[in-house]
Amino acid sequence: MVGQALAHYQISALLGAGGMGVVFKAADTRLGREVAIKMLAEDFHRHGDRPLRFEREAKLLASLNHPNIAAIHGLDEDQGVRFLVLELVEGETLADRLSRGAIPLDEALKLARQISDALEAAHEKGIIHRDLKPGNIKIAADGTVKVLDFGVAKAFADEEAVVDARGSRPPSIEATEHGMILGTAAYMAPEQARGTRVDKRVDIWAFGAVLYEIVTGTRAFPGTNPAETIASVLTKEPDFDRAPARVQRLLRKCLEKEPKNRLRDIADAWELVNEPLPVDAAQAKAKRRIPKLPWILVSVLGTLVVVFLSYWPNSPPRSRVTFQIQAPPGSRLPLGTPAVSNDGRVAYTVIDHEGVARIHVSSIESGDTRVLLGTEGASNPVWSPADDALLFAARQRLKRIDLSNGSVRDLIGIGLPGQTAWNQNDDIVVRAEGKLLRVSGDNSTVPISNSSLDIYPAFLQDSRRFLVLATGLNSIQLGSLDSGERTLVIDNVQSAPILAPTPSGKTYLLFQRDSHLFAQEFDEVSGKVLGTTEVLIPYIGMVGQPAVRPAVGVAASGNLAYQNHQVNNRHLTWVDRSGAPVHALSPEVSVYKPRLSPDQSSVVGTRQSGAEDIWVTNLNHPSLRRLTFGDTTENFPVWSSDGSHVAYVRSQRGIYAADADGVGESQLTEIPGLPWSWSGKHLLYSFPEPPLSKLYMLDVTTKEVTQVGSAYGNSFSGVFSPDGNYFAFSSDKSGRHEVYVKPVTPGAEETQVSFGGAMEPRWNGDGTELYFASLDGYLMAAGVELGKPVAAAPTRLFPFGGGGLTAFRNGYDVASDGQRFLIATPGQINASITVVLNWWVMLERGPKR
């Protein structure tokens, strides 16, 4: 956005980004002043009436006129972008200042007085900050304090539950019984952490926590992660003796855990500072310890009782608690499948500053985190039934790590990670070699399904039956280790199944529709769903290849962990035949699954903005134009050979073609296959035809369909040669994915071009060279003489991270001269993990009264 304009604001620099949006520095060309522009986050727009509520809240906040509160100048919209216009506050944040240590008391009190004045002005108008922390406090060069983001947290909350047609309130995973958990853990009042209704006293608590940090240089409630910090907030007292005696009374009154005992009005704070202490600090310390000890014990015992009841199955908990796991400094959390054990641990993947992925295991109870060495390159952890080991995928292998001694065992090769289930009988079922396999203790395998449709198994508690997603049929089906038969459980789903037994004895089936995770009661005896569906998590993340596995882990103990949907648009980069970058396109105009237009002037591809849509990038004058609209997902775009149309698949509805200028659209077939190439009147697409995926050629004029590709195994990724008389495609007929070339003529034989495993073929402009991604991570080139039964030996061009699987997931294309390659690489996602204790309570409590 830098260099672009929104309305009459010229954007000049990026100032920062957070969960609520991205902030830019801009010039107000009408009034001649510098301002801050906050572009609201994508999921802001997707949450029902939130934009309307935010507009109401912004009007109220704009009424605040105080020298210590950063002003809101306006709320505007341009080019479909909603944004706030804020006062531009130069200077460092209080968090920046505290990184250098504690602040001298006199200076600290001057800063604190300005912060309290800002809170007092807001509270007088009934406005609560609810996310006061050092990062939201700016200090100008002259020492003036400006409190930022006043009331924005409330405007972003989902407090006003949407009432559906039945009159019930669908539970949201973020919402507790009485409200939202908002704020940063270290500054969050106990009532906020518990999710109960809040008032201005949460700001007073946060003020106390900030003041403590200002005068001591340490946090009042330290913790290595949010779980540990929240536990500290709920159960521990700060070491008040570290603070100067002059402010200890104020700190104690602000940091009372019980709101009714807390300082009621921030305006009264300075009486507690200015009054002389009745006794010296040493006497006060001695007098306080004796009477307060029983109450500390009562508080700790009370908390232990709450924790005990949360885990005791015969005493269902009264409410749920939500907190987040963030990446360690310098690392990031990729979108994945966090796994939750029954004994209260979460396993997840962290990518460190060197780009190496390893599994981390965090204890919900203690907050301790352990890094598992030997899990380099890992993804998709799965707990053993006894919670003493983990399965994980790494470098196309399924591996096991025993947590007692850290030993790692290599099990079997797998084509796609993450499709693994582990039952109480220690049976492991994994998808490999195009089918579901049962892995025994000696690593031998037995097929339990020959259908290529069955993916992502999930065991029932009897350890014999399991659920699978039947791809292409968009249904969840029930299978068994004892039989190859399948029984329909539920259709019209867009994700793999997750079975979630609960301490109450009920089991829920979790699945995705329209980007949301739904829950429906599941009877394990009959294998049938009961009752109605409820939205459990809005905008859940999806992972896998294909991306149909919700980013959710759940344990029978009643704990759940998830990651929300992350917009992960790829970056497009031109590289030469050595892989050296030639030119990088801006992320604002990049797409993934890119396909160059016949005249090389444009790229069509996919972008995510909630659902996936088709976009066209103009390469001559880099710009982006949207081709499809609506709530459905469109993907796998390809150009017609004359560049006049683009074909793509619309989720569950068929293959469509749109005019390249976006004027019109028509349906080519009702079959929701994946389009690969369009030459003249023929379109190549693949579609799963049980038990295999096959390649078809569609005559777009007569609608006649002909099966092409290999007679054996799976066939997909078909690409016509420039003259339209041949096509290259991928097939696993040999037991491994390879690239073949075949004439369009019916009955002709294919010629193998790759050796050693490869996917995703592409042609140069005259059909003399073919390119593909090897399974061991290189982009390859092979000379081709069409009509000859033998192709030239392929050569390596450059490393292609992730090889064929990455090429399939992200896409790439080749310039007609074969000298440049357009590579799509994913952006850097840092997707925090939300942990929910007792997630199931709201489903079983029923509508609020």
pLDDT tens profile 331-355:
888 888 899 998 889 999 998 888 8
For residues 496 and 481, give the distance between their C-alpha atoms in angstroms, rounded to a whole number: 18
pLDDT reported for residue 815: 96
Decide if 423 contacts 463 (C-beta within 8 A).
Answer: yes
Q: Which residues contact 160 (CB under 8 A, 6 or more apart)?
A: 49, 53
Give the pair of three-digit tokens for residue 293: 């000890």
Q: DSSP class of residue 816?
A: T
pLDDT reported for residue 165: 26
Query: Which percentage of the chain shows pLDDT scores above 90?
Result: 35
pLDDT reported for residue 809: 72
User: Who has greater pLDDT, 164 or 1?
Assistant: 1
Domain boundaries, the chain: 1-88, 92-322, 326-566, 571-825
For residues 10 and 37, give the distance between their C-alpha atoms in angstroms, rounded to a whole number: 10
Q: In 3D, which of 10, 66, 67 has the Cα closest to residue 37?
A: 10
CATH number of 326-566: 2.120.10.30
User: Who has greater pLDDT, 191 or 604?
Assistant: 604
pLDDT tens profile 794-839:
999 998 876 666 677 778 999 999 999 999 887 666 788 988 888 8
* Domain 571-825 CATH (choose: 3.30.70.1880, 2.60.40.650, 3.20.20.70, 2.120.10.30): 2.120.10.30
- Most confident option among 31-40, 100-109, 541-550: 100-109
pLDDT band per the 50, 70, 90 thresholds, residue 577: very high
Query: How many contiguous H segments (helices) and E segments (strands) does the chain have?
Result: 13, 59
pLDDT reported for residue 290: 30
For 665, phi then psi, to 5°, come to -150, 145
Q: Which of 28, 117, 131, 732 is catalytic?
A: 131
Domains 326-566 and 571-825 in one fold: yes
End-to-end CA distance of the chain: 47
pLDDT at position 181 over 50: no
pLDDT reported for residue 14: 73
For residues 795 and 53, give the distance between their C-alpha atoms in angstroms, rounded to a whole number: 59
For residues 254 and 201, give the distance between their C-alpha atoms in angstroms, rounded to a whole number: 8
Q: In 3D, which of 672, 679, 642, 632 has the Cα closest to residue 656?
A: 672
pLDDT tens profile 423-477:
888 888 888 766 788 887 667 788 886 666 678 888 999 888 999 888 766 789 9
User: Who has greater pLDDT, 272 or 289?
Assistant: 272
User: Who has greater pLDDT, 79 or 758?
Assistant: 758
pLDDT tens profile 228-281:
677 788 888 999 999 999 999 999 999 999 999 999 999 989 888 854 444 344
For residues 120 and 269, give the distance between their C-alpha atoms in angstroms, rounded to a whole number: 10
105-114, 160-169, 823-832: which has the minimum mean pLDDT? 160-169
For residues 824 and 826, give the distance between their C-alpha atoms in angstroms, rounded to a whole number: 7
Provide the 10 A C-beta neighbour count for residue 355: 9
Phi-psi region of 85 (alpha: psi -120 to 50; beta: other; left: phi over 0): beta
Helix H, strand E, coil C: the string for 231-281 is HHHHHCCCCHHHCCHHHHHHHHHHCCCCHHHCCCCHHHHHHHHHCCCCCCH
For residues 742 and 787, give the distance between their C-alpha atoms in angstroms, rounded to a whole number: 9
Give the pair of three-digit tokens for residue 106: 């006199």
186-200, 383-397, 725-739: which has the minimum mean pLDDT? 186-200
pLDDT tens profile 506-522:
999 999 887 788 999 99
Q: In 3D, which of 33, 367, 363, 324 has the Cα closest to residue 182?
A: 324
Q: In 3D, which of 394, 396, 380, 336 has the Cα closest to residue 737?
A: 396
pLDDT reported for residue 568: 57
Report the amino acid identity of residue 210: V
Q: Which residues contact 243 (CB under 8 A, 6 or more apart)?
A: 212, 215, 216, 251
pLDDT at position 293 over 50: no
Edge-to-edge, what's the strand order for the sheet holding 21-28?
A: 5-6, 9-18, 21-28, 33-40, 81-87, 72-78
pLDDT reported for residue 624: 86
Q: Tell which CATH architecture fits domain 92-322.
A: Orthogonal Bundle (1.10)
Q: In 3D, which of 682, 638, 671 has the Cα closest to residue 657?
A: 638
pLDDT band per the 50, 70, 90 thresholds, residue 690: low
User: Who has greater pLDDT, 151 or 692?
Assistant: 692
Peptide bond preceding 691 in cis form (omega within 30 of 0):
yes
Known active-site residue 387: no
CATH number of 1-88: 3.30.200.20
Mean residue pLDDT across the chain: 81
297-301, 585-589, 647-651: which has the minimum mean pLDDT? 297-301
3-state helix, strand, coil in the chain (%, to 5): 20, 40, 45
Q: In 3D, which of 256, 263, 260 has the Cα closest to residue 292?
A: 256
Give the pair of three-digit tokens for residue 455: 């993916």
User: Mean pLDDT throughout 584-592?
Assistant: 85
pLDDT reported for residue 569: 59
Decide if 574 contacts 81 (C-beta within 8 A).
Answer: no
CA 488 from chain centre, in angstroms, equals 29
Provide the 10 A C-beta neighbour count for residue 669: 20
pLDDT reported for residue 178: 29
Give the pair of three-digit tokens for residue 492: 């019209």
User: Who has greater pLDDT, 106 or 287?
Assistant: 106
Q: DSSP class of residue 102?
A: -
pLDDT tens profile 607-616:
876 567 899 9
